[in-house]
């Protein structure tokens, strides 16, 4: 039993214009961090490409077709002012989704205790019929639906600590009582969703945080609002939208977390002793991203070692 790391070279081929924050250098920084000698116990896996059937677990056929037809032969095509595709974007997105589904299989079959998907593009803003916020397909949402349908689970939980609210994940499951979704995120900030009163069918816990929130307040809010609700839901599997743009050094937001705070919430989640799959979302300061991912994966790997 161990921690699996899923990635694929195709994820580097999702190109963005110069200056765009969601760039291949992000993934390079993450992979370099995970090659540190601290992580010799990790087992690296090649992420497969998702099937069209897996995409349809969450997305409409019209959305899937719109992404496929938007792929340019050269240069870039903008789906909105923030979201761009290049020649390699479709294959990158398919391997990102495929990594999440493969990680679900590995953890639920007992091959791994947990898994981290080092992939791009990210996914939690992608709604069933809309790409947005750098996201084409919703990696975590598809993985959750895959766990429900392929493995016949009754209760899957998603925890999202990206600084931006995962509007796409919420849209996918706001009326689905089998999926619990909890999110900490800065408000006000893009995409403008995730107010505390957005509770779905009692399965959503949104914890908006004002600009300037530090690690102490973040931990208090997680302990008071998310962890008890997560425990009460009694999930059979835990998925994580692991965005690291709440870091104090990140250029796109104004929360003041450090890698120690990401290590803390990661450790809290692994104490539930559940099959756990984490997927990379945001994080746009390369040094902060690398340190934060390392702290996150170290918490996952520590739980794997304890389980042996």
Percentage of residues of the chain with pLDDT beyond 90: 97
Residue 240 domain boundaries: 3-307
Reported confidence tier of residue 265, pLDDT bands at 50, 70, 90: very high
Query: What is the average pLDDT value for the chain, to the nearest integer?
Result: 97
pLDDT score of 308 more than 80? no
Average pLDDT over residues 243-251: 98
Average pLDDT over residues 221-226: 98
What tens digit of pLDDT does each residue of 33-65 get? 999 999 999 999 999 999 999 999 999 999 999
What tens digit of pLDDT does each residue of 98-108 get? 999 999 999 99
Residue 159's nearest CA partner among 93, 205, 114, 98 is 205
pLDDT score of 306 more than 50? no
pLDDT at 307: 43
Reported confidence tier of residue 1, pLDDT bands at 50, 70, 90: low
pLDDT score of 185 more than 90? yes
Residue 291's nearest CA partner among 4, 23, 33 is 33
Residue 120's nearest CA partner among 215, 207, 248, 25 is 25
What tens digit of pLDDT does each residue of 120-170 get? 999 999 999 999 999 999 999 999 999 999 999 999 999 999 999 999 999
| Residues whose CB is less than 8 angstroms from the CB of residue 199 and which lie 6 or more positions away in sequence, other chains included | 205, 206
Using CA atoms, how far residue 254 sits from 156, 275, 280, in Å, is 30, 32, 20
Reported confidence tier of residue 305, pLDDT bands at 50, 70, 90: very low
Residues 95, 49 contacting (CB under 8 angstroms): yes
pLDDT score of 79 more than 50? yes
CATH at residue 56? 3.40.800.20
Cα Rg of the chain (Å, integer): 17
Catalytic option among 14, 63, 125, 247: 125
pLDDT score of 303 more than 80? no
Average pLDDT over residues 174-194: 98
Average pLDDT over residues 287-307: 86
Verify whether residue 125 is a known catalytic residue: yes
Q: Please state the domain count of the chain.
A: 1
């Amino acid at each position: 039993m161990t921690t699996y790391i899923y990635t694929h070279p195709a994820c580097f081929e999702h190109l963005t214009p110069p200056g765009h924050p969601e760039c291949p250098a992000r993934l390079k920084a993450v992979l370099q961090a995970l090659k540190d000698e601290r992580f010799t116990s990790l087992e690296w896996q090649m992420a497969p490409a998702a099937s069209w059937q897996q995409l349809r677990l969450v997305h409409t056929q019209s959305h899937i077709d719109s992404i496929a037809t938007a792929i340019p032969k050269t240069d870039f095509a903008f789906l909105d002012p923030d979201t761009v595709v290049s020649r390699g974007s479709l294959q990158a997105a398919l391997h990102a989704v495929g990594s999440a589904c493969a990680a679900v299989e590995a953890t639920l079959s007992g091959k791994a205790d947990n898994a981290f998907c080092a992939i791009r593009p990210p996914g939690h803003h992608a709604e069933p019929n809309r790409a947005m916020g750098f996201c084409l397909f919703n990696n975590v949402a598809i993985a959750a639906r895959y766990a429900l349908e392929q493995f016949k689970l009754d209760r899957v939980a998603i925890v999202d600590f990206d600084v931006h609210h995962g509007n796409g994940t919420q849209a996918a499951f706001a009326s689905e009582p089998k999926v619990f979704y909890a999110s900490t995120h800065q408000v006000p900030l893009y995409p403008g969703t995730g107010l505390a009163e957005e509770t779905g069918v009692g399965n959503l816990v949104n914890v908006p945080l004002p600009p300037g929130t530090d690690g102490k307040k973040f931990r208090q809010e997680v302990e008071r609002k998310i962890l008890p609700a997560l425990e009460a839901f009694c999930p059979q599997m835990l998925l994580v939208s692991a965005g690291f743009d709440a870091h104090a050094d990140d250029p796109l937001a104004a929360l003041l977390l450090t890698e120690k705070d990401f290590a803390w919430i990661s450790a809290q989640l692994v104490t539930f002793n559940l099959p756990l799959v984490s997927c990379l979302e945001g994080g746009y300061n390369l040094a902060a991203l690398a340190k934060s991912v390392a702290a996150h994966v170290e918490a996952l790997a520590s739980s794997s070692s304890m389980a042996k």
